[in-house]
Each structure stands twice: as structure tokens, then as C-alpha cells.
Amino acid sequence: MNNQDPIAVFKTEALEQLELIEAGLLDLTRDLEDKAQIDAVFRGLHTLKGSGSMFGFDQLAAFTHHCETAFDRVRKGEAPATTELVSAVLDAQGHMLALLQTPNGDHEAMSAKLLDNLHRAVGGSAKAATQSAAATAEQAGKPAPAASGLSTWELTFTLPANSMINGTNPLGLLDELRELGEAHVEALCDNVPPLEEIDPREVHLSWRVTLKTDKPKSDIEDVFIFVMDDMVMDLKQTEAPAPVAEKAPAARPEAAADNAPQAAASPADAAKAQQPTDAKAQKQADNVRVPALRLDEMMDRVGELVIAQSRLSQMASSAADLGLRSVSEEIERLAGELRDTMMVLRMMPVASLFSRFRRLVHDLARETGKDIELITEGEMTEVDKTVIDRLADPLVHLVRNSVDHGLETPDDRIAVGKSPVGRVHLSAHQTGSEVVITIKDDGRGIDRARVRAKAEANGLIQPGAQLSDQELLQLIFQPGFSTAEKVTNLSGRGVGMDVVKKTIETLRGAIDIKTTPGEGSEIALRIPLTLAIIDGLLVRVGSGRYVLPLSAVEECLELSLEEDLKSRGRSFISLRDDLVPFLRLRELFRTGTQPDPFQKVVVVSTGTERVGLVVDQIIGDHQTVIKNMSKLHDHVSAFSGATILGDGNVALILDVAHLIAAGQHQEAQLRAAG
């Protein structure tokens, strides 16, 4: 039994339809003559109108009907596709979302305004089309075609059994036929099963319709445009319109034979022809919608299972019972497979995230008067759904910042020898257990002198302070920081970039910045693939145990007591001719314990930056279920979370990005001092 709320299901599918409509409209901005995209937008609007009406979203259906009509005229060649029309329907698409989310709200004023814009975008097109047809006919020395008379059509059709489950209302189709002219409808009951065998969710009737209309055959077929591939239909013209112009030439005998009406398909034939549809329906049934909340709950259960399995493994390792060890190893294998399967279920391609920015860049181009091209790459890179949801707002801020601060106006770009079209490049790729999302533009770049001056004026740094290039550029993420000379609708208030940094830090990620004056900037977000379970390296510092994400670990070295004493005041190790700064975690955490005779250095990195962490003991790898820390520990930036060990004790998870930043800061101070 399916207990899902049908209204909730409709809203989900309507949101998908709105996204498809938006994508089609944005594709049209690049080629206004693209017939396939025009048809796709029309079908999307038609579906949204019909399903909205079926589920009681009357305002949405009525409003969408006007947009559908406009694109129907474009589809039939009665009106041209123009930039103004596409922009008007894009604006209307945003309003459709409001009508979907608050169907009982007061939307009349906004609807009227948007429809006025829509009518202006297509206004006069029909009259122009008529005048054009008349002019063309006059030039050819022939009179313009007269309006056609009434034709009589006989239509017999059978819908797929699962039509209503998939959102098709047979009564709505019959109503659309009645709108075309005078219709006589007859229900065919040959295939209706006995009462005790009837499935109320399925369609068992067929219909025969006699229709008198002045509309062409294509308009009748358009009523069934979304079920045409799955249904059985026989459509024949039984009475042609009376001739109103010159007598047509006699039809060839073979042409008459070609046009001879074929026998209507019987309900039995219709049922046979419908059989392939069942396989298609079965294929669709293979995909199941699952609420994200259920996946979150299941991930929590898998996490608890991993913790329990870890405890079992610890007990089995100290037990003499070989049978217990065997069972423990089997459960460990199954738990690992279940964990990996669960990870895959939560993964989504970033295409669902990147697609939102096509509309954003389109709107920003209109608002700023700049010519902007958005280039996306790596859309099929997969990330945990939670990560995708949290990345949406930071990426909006970064893209808006690139457009407003980074890209120049077309005139300014031409003046410096650039293409008038500015480019924003949005890409994603996976590296190890991280995904790197990069926002790159070919604009003016970040003015380092202005950043330093603004930071000194705001008291963020002391005048003349020694900073590395990365430390200087990272200042743009400080709260309230902005180098904009004036506040605009897009940016300049100093809010947004600090939100980016906070969000990335909560995701246990890091931000890298590159910029070249006059050539553009590149901001890379390094994000873990998942936020739930990671492979970690368990270490001991004093009497405490800590976890390092295994993906950040490069190598482990031994640091003897003598070498430790020699490096006092220097805090550098030589690693293949490179000096790498290191931190003594025992001192950082103030354990108050003496160092072990043979300490270890764990070298960790994020991209090009790395640092060594001195620990007392490397215990081994550990499957780590991440638990969030309480609000009381928000200020403790050295840790990104906690985990429960097999013996029931808690181990803190080290924030590698923070430790590397601390190590780099320590290195800069030592170099400045000596």
C-alpha cells in the first residue's frame, strides 16, 4: 500500500517540471530557432497546467495556461520566439513556483503584472502573421486562404492501465476534446472486468468520440501528446469541410486508397496493443522515490551498527573462542558492505546543484548589463546529498561575487583586449575522499593592495604585518569585509563571503584562492564526499585518543627523543629536501604528560599545504562514525567532531584544515623572527 500524500507527490513532480521548463528556456536563449526546445517547453507547461488542475491548484493551472498558449503559438509558427518572450516566461516560471508553494495566497497583482509582460512580448504577433500570409499570397498572385469549415472526425482510443497512477486524467482529455468543437462521447466497456476483479487505480474503459471541429488533425493529436507513445488510438476523418475556394484537382486513385478510413481498433485489439506498455511501466517502477529523512535515519542505524561491530571485534580479539572471531570477521565484512551501499544511496551528481546557476547567471547578466557565459564541467561528480544541500548558498555568494566584482563590463573588457563576453567556469572533480568544486572567472582579479588597505582600516591586521599570499587573500572571508566602492543589489555590504567560510568549515572543508591581476580569480572548495562515516587514523597523544581523516594523511615518520630536543625552537622537519612545519599536539592540547621515547610525526595535507603532527603513538586505522559536537564546543576549532570507540570511550576528530593553518601561521612567525 502506498501511503504517500498525493499532493506531496504532485508538488515534487511539479518542481521537477519547473526545473525542466527553466532549463528549456535557458537553452532557447542560445538558439531561439531550436524547435526541439520550443516543443519541450510547451510540453512542460502543458503537463504542469493539466496536473495542477487535476490536484486542485487552480491558480497555478489558470496562470500556466497563458504561458502554454504563448508557446503553442510559437510552436505552430503563429508567433516568433524572441528574447523578450523567453524572459517573460522565465519571470512567470518563478511565479509558478510561488503558486505551487502557496496555492491559496493572494497572487492576483503579481499574476496580472507578469501576464501583461507576457502579452506585450507576443502582442500583435497573430495579426502580423495574418498580414504576412496575405502579403505572401498577394505576391504569388493568389488570394489569401479562407478560413476552413467544419470537419467531422471519429476517434477511438484506449489509455494505458496505469494512466491515472501516472497523473493522466481521462476526463481532462475528454474535456480538452470538447473545447475543440462539438463532441459526442461514448464509453466502451468491453474490457471492464468483473466487479470483484476491478483495480480502482487502473483504467478499464475505452472511448469513441465523434468530433465536429474547424481545428486541424494536429490539434486533436496534441490533446494526447503526453500519452501518445503508450496509448492505442485510431483517428479518421469521416466528413471533410465544404470547399470554399477553387475546385481542387481530382485525387489520384492511389491517393484515394491511401486516404481510405481504416477500421477502428476494437477494445480487444487495444488491449493486445497495450501489452508492451506493461514492460515500460515495470521499468518505471524500478525507480523508487524515498524521502531524504528516511535515508538519514538509515545512515544513523548503519553508524550505530559500525560502532557495535567495532566493540564486537575488540571483544573477539581478546577471546580464545575461534568461533566468535569468525563470526566477528563475518559481521565486520557485512557491516562494511552495508556502509558502502548506504554511501552510494546518498550520493547525487552535482549536476542537480550546477543547474541552478544557469538561471542565476542569466538574471545577473540582465541586471548588470554584462555579457556572461557560464561554463560547467564535471556535472556527474557525485557527492553526499547533505553536502549538496549545504553548498547551494555558498556557491550563490561566490558566483554573484565573481559576476559583480570580478567580471568587467563589455566596454572595459574590450579596452584591455579581452572578449566582451565574460566567462564564469564552474567545475567539480573528485580527488581521494574529497570533491573539489572550483569557481573561476576571467575578470580583473583580486586587488591585493586594496585587500590589505581595507583589512588594516578595519583593524583585522596590523599595518605592515607579514602575511603569506594565502593568508592575505583569505581576509576576504572575514565578517563585514568588502572592497566594493559602493553597495549594489548584488554585493558590497560585507556579508556573504563570511557565510561561505562558516559553511565550508561546518562541512569540514577548506578554501583555496588563486588570483592573477587582469586575468581573473579561482576559488576552490575542498569538501568531504560524505559527512557520516570516514576512514580514520587513530592516534594517541598523552592519555587521549584522536582520529585523523585517513584521506588527509600523506605519511608517518618516527621522531626520536634526541631529534625532538634538537628541533626545539625550530619546529621543522626535513622531508625529501623540503622543510615541513610540525606541531606538537601534546603541547597544543596541554596534556601535562611526558613524551614517549619514540614519537611519531603524521604528515597531513590539504592540496599544496601540509604540516606534521607529533603524536605519541599510532594505533591504527579506524572506521569512524562522525558525531556532531555540542554547541558548547563551537569555539574549539581544532576538532571537527567526535566518534565512539569500540571500548565505549570518545575520541575527538581533528580538524586538519585548522591544524594546517596553525602550522603555516607558526612557520610564518618563525621566518619573520629569524
Identify the DSSP state of 550. G
What does the pLDDT read at residue 540?
93
What does the pLDDT read at residue 166?
66
Give the 3-state DSSP-derived string for 335-367, with helices as H, strands as E and coil as C.
HHHHHHHHHHHHEEECHHHHCHHHHHHHHHHHH
What does the pLDDT read at residue 607?
63
Cell of 506: 561546518
Strands across the sheet with 609-615, in order? 553-560, 598-606, 609-615, 578-584, 572-575
Reported as a single tens digit per residue, the pLDDT across 327-381 is 888 998 888 888 878 878 878 888 888 888 888 888 888 888 888 999 999 988 8
Rounded average pLDDT over 245-270: 41
Cell of 98: 510561488
Give the distance from CA 443 to its chain's centroid.
26
Rounded average pLDDT over 391-400: 88
Reported as a single tens digit per residue, the pLDDT across 41-82 is 888 888 888 778 777 888 888 888 888 888 888 888 888 888
The rounded distance, in Å, linking the Cα atoms of 71 and 41 is: 8
- Secondary structure (3-state) at 500: helix
Contacts of 448 (CB under 8 A, 6+ apart): 469, 472, 473, 515
Rounded average pLDDT over 293-316: 83
What does the pLDDT read at residue 264?
40
Cell of 42: 510547451
Cell of 192: 471492464
Rounded average pLDDT over 130-155: 53
CB 42 within 8 A of CB 222: no
The rounded distance, in Å, linking the Cα atoms of 345 and 132 is: 57
Strand stretches in 542-597, DSSP E: 544-549, 553-560, 572-575, 578-584
Reported as a single tens digit per residue, the pLDDT across 374-384 is 999 998 888 88
The rounded distance, in Å, linking the Cα atoms of 660 and 412 is: 40
Nearest 5 degrees, angle CA 307-CA 308-CA 309?
90
Mean pLDDT of the chain: 78
> Phi first, then psi: what are they for 473, rounded to 5°?
-70, -30
CB 565 within 8 A of CB 613: no
- Say which residue, 440 or 591, is predicted with more confidence: 440
Reported as a single tens digit per residue, the pLDDT across 570-609 is 677 777 777 788 888 888 888 888 888 788 999 988 666 7
